Amino acid sequence: MHEKFPWSHVFGFLLSIVLTCMTIWIGLYTNFSHSFILYLIVGLAFVQAFLQLFMFMHMTEGEDGKMKTANIFYGIFVAVIVVLGSLFTMSFGM
Amino acid sequence: MKFQWDTFFVTGEPMILGAQISLLFGAIAMVVGLTYFKKWKWLWTEWITTVDHKKIGTMYILCAVLMLFRGGVDALLMRIQLTLPNLHFLDEHHYDEIFTTHGTIMILFMAMPFLMGLINLVVPLQIGARDVAFPYLNAISFWLFFIGMGLFNISFIIGGSPDAGWTMYFPLAGTEFTPGPGQNYYAIALQIAGIGTLATGINFLVTIFKMRAPGMKLMDIPMFSWSVIAMSLIIVAAFPVLTIALALMTFDRLFGAHFFTMASGGMPMLWSNLFWIWGHPEVYIVVLPAFGIFSEIISTFSRKRLFGYGSMVLSMLAIALMSYLTWAHHFFTMGAGPAVNSFFSISTMAISIPTGIKIFNWLATMYKGKISFTTPMLWAVGFIPNFIVGGATGVLLAMASADYQYHNSYYLVAHFHHVLIAGVVFACFGGLHFWYPKMFGHILNETLGKWTFWIFVIGFNICFYPMYFLGLKGMTRRMVTYQADLGWTGLNEVATVGAFLMGVAFLILCYNIYYSARKGERDTTGDPWDGRTLEWATSTPVPHYNFAKLPNVQGVDEWARMKKNGENLKITEEEVKEIHMPNNTGKAFIISCFFFVAGFGLVFEWYWMAILGGIGIACGLLLRSLEKDEGYHVSVEEIKRTEGLSRGDEHGTNK
Amino acid sequence: MEQTNKELPLEYQTHQDRMTILAFWIFLGAEIALFSTLFATYLVLEHRTAGMFSAKQLFEAPKVMMMTFLLLTSSFTCGVAIWYMRRNNAKQLIGWMLVTLLLGAGFLYMEIAEFTHYVHEGATIQTSAFLSSFFVLTGTHGAHVTLGICWALSILYQVMKNGITTTTARKVFIIGLYWHFLDVVWIFLFTLVYVKGMVG
C-alpha cells in the first residue's frame, strides 16, 4: 500500500480528464446520431466511474474488498433498473 | 395571518373530539404516574438513552402493538360504515382519512416496527454477537421511527390526517386537490421514519456479516438471520427511492415544483412509478423476515433441521433481486403500453416460484418430524394454507389483461390482506409468542394463545373471503358507501362480523399479555422450547452483554448440536474476561426530537421552525462527531456475579 | 473485540473501524439508488419544458467544463491528502484537504451562480417539469457537496486537535470516500444532464 509516489492517482486523474474531454468532443463536435452519441458518452461515463471507484476509492482493498465491490455492482444493478425501468414504464408507446 | 385554532386542531367531529380528550387524559395520566412512582430517571437511563438492542427491540414491539390497536380500530370503523348501504356513520372525508391512515399505519408503523423489534431482539443473539455493529445508530433508528410515528399519528387531531390513500396518487395528492397539512404529514413523517429504516438495514448487514461468533460460516447462519440479510439488501436499495419520491412530493406541495402536478409538464403517473418502485420491494421487506420467523418456528416445533437450507437461502436472495422487477403490476390499468404490461406480468408470476420452493421446504421440514402444536406452531402452520390462497390470487391479478377487471376492486383488497396478514401478521404473533420468554422471562399462556389464534384466523377468513366475491361483483375499494340494489349488502355484513372477531382475538391477546405477566409460567432455563439456535443458549434474563463466553460454532443449528453433545456455554472463573460495551446516550433521542420540530415545521410550512429544527439536528450530529466516547468495560467481578447467580443447573444464568 | 493488525493502513486497523468503512460503502450503494431515482425522474421529464426554456438554451459548455475540472481536481487532491495520511503526515493531510475543500467551494460558487443566472432569466423550479427536475437533481448533488465541506471541516478540526489516530484516520478516509463518490455522481450529471442536454 505504501507506494513511493501516487502514480495510480495521477494516472486516474489524467485519464478522467481525457475521458471527460472525449465526452464533450463526441457530444458537441461530431455528427453522429443522437442515440449513438448517447451510447458512447454513457459508456465513457461508466468507464470513468469505475476508474475512479478503483483508483481513487480503493474499492477492492481490504478484507471486505469483494463485499464492497459486490455492493457497488448491486447498486449499479438497482440504478439501471430504476432508470431504464422508469423510462420503459413511462414511455406510453411500448 | 391570524392563527386559526379551529383548523389547526381538528374540530367539528365528535369522534375525533373524543379521541383528543382521551389522548390528553392519557398523556396526563402518564406524566402523573411517572412522577408519583418517581420513575423519570428510570425511564431516561433504562429506556430513552439505551443502546441495548434487546431493549430497543422491546420498545419497537410495544409501539407496534399500539399501532396495531390504532390501525385495527381504523379497520373496524370502516367495516361498520360498510356493513349496510347508505350508512352515515362516517362521512366521505373522514372515511378517506381512515383508509389512508389504516394502510399507512399497518404497513409502516405496525408491521415494520414489529419485525424490526423481533430482529433487534433476536439476530445478535442468534449469531452469537454481543451487540449490533452500531449501537448508537440503532438507537437513532428507533427514535426516528418513534418520531415519524408520533408525527403521523397526531395528524388526526392537529391539522387533519392525510386522505388520499396510503398510495397518495397524484393529482389528488397535490395541493390543487388536497391543500392543507394532511398530505404533508405523510410526506414528512414517512421521510423521517424512512431514514431510520435505511440505517437499520445497513446496521444489520454489517452486524451479520462481520460480528458472527467464531466458526459461524455464511451457510451456518440461522434462517431468520439470513432473511434479515435478504431484507436489508432490499432496504438499502428501495428506501432511497422512497426518500426521493417523498422529497419530490414535498417540493411539489411546498415549493410549487412540477414533478407530478400536471400543469407545466408534470406527470402524475411518475409518482405511481416511483412510489411502487419502492412499494413493491417494501412488501418483500416485510414478508422475508416473516418467512424467516416461520423457518425458525417450524424447525423448532418439528424437532428437525430446516429442510433445504441452501435453497431457502437462494430463494430469499432470488426474491430480493426479483422484487425489483415487478413494480408496475400495481398500475397495469394506468395506460402503459402492452410491452410494459406484459413484461411486468411475467416477472410478477415468476416471483411466485422461489416462494413456492420455500413452502415445499417448510412442509418437508414438518414431514416425519415430532410436531408439537404450540401457539407459535399454530401461527406458522396456519400461515401456509392462508398465504397460498393470497399468493394464488396474486398470480391471477398478475395477468395484466385480467387485472383490468379486478384492479382496485375488493378482489385486490382481499388478495393483499390475505398475503400480508397471513404472511406478516401471523409471523408477528407467532414470533412474539416464540421469543416472548426470551424478552420477559415468562411464557404467554397457551390456552389463551390458542383461543387468539383460532378466533383470529376464523375471523380473518370470514372477513376477507367474501371480499373476493364482492370484488368480482364489482365493488370498488375506497368507497364510503354503496347502494342497496347492488346486492353487495349480505357479503359486507358477513365481512364485518369477521372483522369484529379479529378485534376480539386482539383483545384476548392483550389479556394474555396482562394475565401472563401476573400469573404466567415463569421460565428460568432460557430455553423453554428446546430451541435449536444460539439465542436459546443465553440465560433469562439475558445479561446486557449477551454472552459471557462466545461459542465456537461448528455448523447449522449450533445450540441443538451442542445440547446433543452435552456441551454448553458455562464459563469458568478463569475464562471470565472484561467485556467492552457501548455507553448509553441521550443524543439519539434529542436529535430525533429536533427531527420532530423540523418535521412539524415543514408540515405546517412554518419555515422558521423547520430551520430551527434543522440547526438542532446539525448541532447534535456535530456534538456526536466531536465526542470521544470509547464505551466502558464490564468488570470481571460483575460478570462473575451475573453468571454465578445461584449455582446449580436449573436456576441462574450460568449454563 | 479489538483485533488490530499493524500491517494495515491505520484506518483499517481496528475491527470497529473496518465495520464503519464497510457500512459507509453500503451507504454509498444506497446513495447510488437515491441518485438513480433523481436521474430517472430527470430523464423522464427532460423534454417537458412547458414551451419554455430547454436544456439546449440554458446550458453553457465552458462553464460546465470548468465545474467538472474543479470537482475532478478536488477529488484528486483529496486522494493525495489520504496518501499523506497513510504516511502519517498530518500537516500535508490538512493542507491537501483544505485545497480540496477550496476547489469544492469553487465548484459550488459556480453552481450557485449558474442557478441564480437561470432564475434571473425566469427559469425557476416552478417554471416547468424539466426545470423542477434539473434543479432538484443538480441541487441535491450540490447540497451533498455543501454538507461534505462542513463535515470535512469538522473532521480536519479533530485531526488538528487529536492528530492522526485510528479514529481520525477512519473519519478522514470516510469523508474521502464521500468526496470521491460525489465526483463519480458528477460524471453522470455532466454526461446525462449537461452534455446530453446540449446535444439536444
The more confidently predicted of residues B111 and A93 is B111
Q: Supply C17's cell numbers.
A: 473501524
Evaluate whether B289 touches B424 at the Cβ level (below 8 Å): no
Write the pLDDT tens digit of every residue in B384-434.
999 999 999 999 999 999 999 999 999 999 999 999 999 999 999 999 999
Q: How confident is the model at residue B27 (pLDDT cuts 50, 70, 90)?
A: confident
Evaluate whether C19 touches B205 at the Cβ level (below 8 Å): no
Nearest CB partner across the interface for B251, out of C20, C29, C136: C136
Q: Which of residues 75-134 of C touch A (CB under 8 A)?
A: 75-76, 78-80, 83, 86-87
Q: How confident is the model at residue B1 (pLDDT cuts 50, 70, 90)?
A: very low
Does residue C13 belong to the interface with chain B, where contact is any CB pair within 8 Å?
Answer: no
Mark B420-442 as b/e (b = at least 16 C-beta within 10 Å). Answer: bbbbbbbbbbbbbbbbbbbbbbb
Task: Supply the CATH number for residue C78's domain.
Answer: 1.20.120.80
The more confidently predicted of residues B6 and C197 is C197
Residue-by-residue DSSP string for B502-569:
HHHHHHHHHHHHHHHHHHSPB--SS-TT--SSGGGGS-SSPPTTS-SS-----SSSHHHHHHHTT---
Comparing alpha-carbon positions, the chain C residue that sits nearest to B203 is C23
Short-list C118, C101, C172, C112, CA closest to C141: C112
Comparing alpha-carbon positions, the chain A residue that sits nearest to B329 is A89
CA distance B130 to B385: 38
- Rounded to the nearest integer, the mean pLDDT of chain B is 92
Averaged over B526-549, what is the pLDDT?
91
pLDDT exceeds cutoff 50 at C102:
yes
pLDDT exceeds cutoff 60 at B342:
yes
Residue-by-residue DSSP string for B574-633:
GG---EEEPPP-SHHHHHHHHHHHHHHHHHTT-HHHHHHHHHHHHHHHHHHHH-----EE
Any domain includes C170: yes
Touching chains, C (3+ CB pairs < 8 A):
A, B
Any domain includes C54: no
Any domain includes C156: yes
Candidate ranges A43-57, A80-94, B189-203; pick with highest mean pLDDT: B189-203
Comparing alpha-carbon positions, the chain C residue that sits nearest to A38 is C196
Any domain includes C99: yes
The reply to whether residue C48 touches residue B265, judged by beta carbons under 8 angstroms, is yes
pLDDT value for B650: 41
Any domain includes C27: yes
Window from A41-45, B75-79, B546-550, C194-198 with minimum mean pLDDT:
B546-550
Instruction: For residue C122, give its domain range.
Output: 10-36+66-199
Does residue C29 belong to the interface with chain B, where contact is any CB pair within 8 Å?
Answer: yes
Write the pLDDT tens digit of every residue in C124-168.
999 999 999 999 999 999 999 999 999 999 999 999 999 999 999
CB proximity list for B535: less than 8 A, separation 6 or greater: B122, B125, B126, B435, B438
Any domain includes C128: yes
The reply to whether residue C130 touches residue B265, judged by beta carbons under 8 angstroms, is yes
Write the pLDDT tens digit of every residue in B589-636.
999 999 999 999 999 999 999 999 999 999 999 999 998 878 889 888
The reply to whether residue B626 touches residue C154, judged by beta carbons under 8 angstroms, is yes
Touching chains, A (3+ CB pairs < 8 A):
B, C
Touching chains, B (3+ CB pairs < 8 A):
A, C
The reply to whether residue C49 touches residue B265, judged by beta carbons under 8 angstroms, is yes
Evaluate whether B155 touches B162 at the Cβ level (below 8 Å): yes
Asked: is B49-585+629-643 a CATH 1.20.210.10 domain? The reply is: yes
Averaged over B340-345, what is the pLDDT?
96
pLDDT value for B569: 83
Return the domain boundaries, chain A: 1-58, 61-94
Any domain includes C192: yes
Write the pLDDT tens digit of every residue in B187-234.
999 999 999 999 999 999 999 999 999 999 999 999 999 999 999 999
Residue-by-residue DSSP string for B121-158:
HHHHHHTT-SS-S-HHHHHHHHHHHHHHHHHHHGGGTB
Averaged over B534-562, what is the pLDDT?
91
Write the pLDDT tens digit of every residue in B31-86.
998 888 888 899 999 999 999 999 999 999 999 999 999 999 999 999 999 999 99
- Phi (first) and psi of residue B158, to 5 degrees: -125, 110
pLDDT value for B647: 38
The reply to whether residue A93 touches residue B267, judged by beta carbons under 8 angstroms, is no
pLDDT value for C149: 97
Return the domain boundaries, chain B: 13-48, 49-585+629-643
Averaged over A30-44, what is the pLDDT?
92
CB proximity list for B6: less than 8 A, separation 6 or greater: B12
The more confidently predicted of residues B559 and B3 is B559
Write the pLDDT tens digit of every residue in B464-520.
999 999 999 999 999 999 999 999 999 999 999 999 999 999 999 999 999 999 998
Q: How confident is the model at residue B642 (pLDDT cuts 50, 70, 90)?
A: confident
The reply to whether residue B240 touches residue C50, judged by beta carbons under 8 angstroms, is no
Q: How confident is the model at residue B2 (pLDDT cuts 50, 70, 90)?
A: low
Q: What is the ipTM of this complex?
A: 0.94
Contacts of A49 in chain C (CB under 8 A): 184, 187-188
pLDDT exceeds cutoff 70 at C99:
yes
Comparing alpha-carbon positions, the chain B residue that sits nearest to A85 is B325
Question: How far does A89 lie from chain B, in Å, by closest CA?
Answer: 6
pLDDT exceeds cutoff 50 at B649:
no
Does residue A74 belong to the interface with chain B, where contact is any CB pair within 8 Å?
Answer: yes
The reply to whether residue A81 touches residue B324, judged by beta carbons under 8 angstroms, is yes
Averaged over B327-331, what is the pLDDT?
96
Tell me the β-bridge partners of B451: none
pLDDT value for B144: 97
| Rg (chain B; Cα; Å) | 25
Question: How far does A80 lie from chain B, in Å, by closest CA?
Answer: 11
pLDDT value for B645: 52
* Residues above pLDDT 70, as percent of chain B: 98
Write the pLDDT tens digit of every residue in B239-257.
999 999 999 999 999 999 9
Any domain includes C56: no
CA distance B632 to B630: 7
Does residue A57 belong to the interface with chain C, where contact is any CB pair within 8 Å?
Answer: yes
